[in-house]
Amino acid sequence: MTTPQLTAEIFRQLSLIAEDESKLQRALKALKRITAPKPDPTLMTREEFVARVKEAEKGPRRSFSSAKELDNYIRSL
């Protein structure tokens, strides 16, 4: 279905339940759940970031003499 078709179908379905307040409340609750912003799992505080960097520093270190060598390493993972 195209966006206009989906929009028309949503409004058609809403018109069917327009007289039933409990169904409208359920529809509103579902729409709010669908449209609620999702938390970004990549966001972190400065303290969390520093802690992750310090933890990473404990691991093995690698150095690369060229970008090609780095690229080859990353592609081999």
From first to last of the 77 residues of the chain, give the pLDDT tens digit: 899 999 999 999 999 999 999 999 999 999 999 999 998 988 999 999 999 999 999 988 889 999 999 999 999 98
pLDDT for 35 equals 94
CA dihedral of 29, 33, 37, 39, whole degrees rounded to 10: 130
Mutual orientation of helices 3-17 and 21-35 as an angle, nearest 10°? 150
pLDDT for 59 equals 86
pLDDT for 46 equals 95
Query: Phi and psi for 44 in degrees, rounded to 5?
Result: -150, 160
pLDDT for 61 equals 86
Domain coordinates in residue numbering, the chain: 3-76
Structure tokens at 70: 């780095």
Rg value, the chain, Cα: 25
pLDDT for 60 equals 86
